[in-house]
């Protein structure tokens, strides 16, 4: 039993951000008020200075190394990493080996994840949910047995090129009666070519192939026209450009059933950083310019961009320690995102604490057609305790993930989740 005195309580569902005393027993809130005086004498009293008690975070999509690439990261390591970062729910993309494109593979990964989240010895306390693959393979685009998958997945996910849009239309029509979200990645299409950085001054200065911003905007515009006619819930992943934000804002104003997310890295970095040639800044889509970055932050603030995704992607040292253009895209982030977003956006006044929590907690659940979780007395616990000023070193001794592919590796981080409840 713990009494948190004058802890900062953040509940994005009820739009609460205030100091309160909170009594927690067995992970459930038993009392909450401005100043509690009548509480059990056995309660351990903890000063709430610099502490934030908030609803558990939700990551819409990340990648698992298991099955197929356990050398990168296992499901256990991913779940423990998520819990250490305050994420009580993580959506796993279907790009495993084999892909999650049939009922047998889905049952196997769900059984493994259920064991992990219920094993008292490990206690990762993060629920792993799974996206189903729309197609069997990424190149031939043969539709998976979606009907077999629908009961066990949070939705369906795939990437689309301009040449795939007829199949996209067919899939939307097929899954529409189920009203499960369809998450689509649009960043790898014909217009992007082989670009590894944003086309423009950056690609010229640093001598690397560029991916033009219009490659994203063109396919977003085409997808929005299709979704306007076939109202299946669609989620656009990894928005990275100012124009992409504008197109989504216009579509939402017209009532199109669309949600969208950007990644935490695109909120904190822009293409100025690429001059370091750090392969951990090789992302897909590539980092945008300062105008793109500012538009994404404003998009989150205004709710045009519904969610901040982590898009956690573990690689081995050998895979990522290569020349920038040869590096596979992606970084780890489940343990790093909240403290770095807090320092980079909340402490600087670019987002309020409540707006950040909305992008990381309540709105991602809405994207999944799930009810947002509120802080309430005696409800099943889904809470995290975050120390916004605790310092720690991001290294293998402190990170739960077995991977080290992050530009923040071996750097001092300010802010750390010190406890996660999920029952």
CA pseudo-torsion sign 173, 174, 177, 180: negative
Name, in order, each residue with C-beta under 8 angstroms of 371's C-beta and a sequence gap of 6 or more: 365
Catalytically annotated residue among 59, 158, 311, 387? 311
Active site residue 139: no
Residues belonging to the active site: 311
């Amino acid at each position: 039993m713990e009494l948190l005195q004058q802890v900062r309580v953040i509940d994005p569902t009820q739009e609460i951000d205030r100091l309160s005393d909170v009594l927690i027993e067995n992970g459930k809130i038993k009392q909450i008020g401005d100043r509690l005086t009548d509480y059990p004498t056995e309660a351990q009293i903890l000063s709430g200075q610099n502490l934030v008690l908030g609803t558990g975070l939700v990551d819409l999509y990340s990648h698992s190394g298991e099955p197929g690439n356990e050398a990168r990261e296992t499901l256990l390591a991913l779940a423990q990493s998520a819990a250490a970062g305050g994420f009580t729910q993580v959506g796993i993309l279907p790009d495993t080996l084999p892909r999650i494109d049939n009922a047998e593979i889905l049952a196997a990964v769900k059984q493994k994840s259920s064991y992990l989240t219920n094993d008292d010895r490990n206690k990762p306390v993060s629920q792993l949910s799974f996206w189903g693959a729309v197609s069997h393979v990424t190149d031939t685009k043969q539709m998976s047995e979606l009907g077999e998958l629908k009961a066990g997945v949070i939705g369906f996910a795939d990437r689309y090129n301009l040449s795939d849009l007829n199949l996209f239309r067919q899939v939307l029509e097929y899954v529409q009666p189920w009203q499960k979200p369809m998450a689509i990645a649009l960043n790898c299409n014909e217009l992007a070519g082989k670009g590894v950085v944003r086309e423009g001054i950056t690609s010229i200065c640093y001598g690397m192939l560029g991916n033009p911003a219009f490659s994203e905007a063109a396919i977003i515009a085409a997808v929005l026209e299709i979704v306007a006619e076939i109202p299946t819930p669609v989620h656009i992943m990894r928005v990275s450009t100012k124009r992409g934000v504008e197109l989504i804002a216009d579509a939402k104003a017209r009532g199109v059933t669309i949600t969208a997310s950007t990644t935490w890295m695109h909120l904190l970095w822009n293409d100025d950083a690429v001059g370091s040639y750090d392969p951990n800044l090789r992302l897909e889509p590539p980092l945008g310019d300062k105008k793109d970055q500012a538009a994404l932050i404003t998009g989150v603030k205004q709710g045009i961009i519904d969610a901040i995704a982590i898009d956690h992607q573990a690689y081995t040292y050998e895979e990522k320690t290569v020349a920038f253009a040869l590096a596979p895209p992606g970084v780890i982030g489940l343990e790093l995102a909240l403290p770095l977003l807090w320092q980079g956006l909340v402490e600087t006044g670019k987002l309020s604490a409540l707006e950040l929590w909305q992008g990381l907690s309540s709105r991602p659940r809405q994207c999944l057609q799930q009810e947002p979780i509120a802080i309430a007395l005696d409800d099943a616990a889904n809470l995290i305790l975050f120390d916004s000023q605790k310092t720690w070193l991001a290294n293998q001794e402190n990170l739960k993930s077995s991977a080290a592919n992050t530009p923040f590796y071996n750097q001092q981080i300010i802010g750390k989740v010190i406890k996660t409840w999920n029952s």
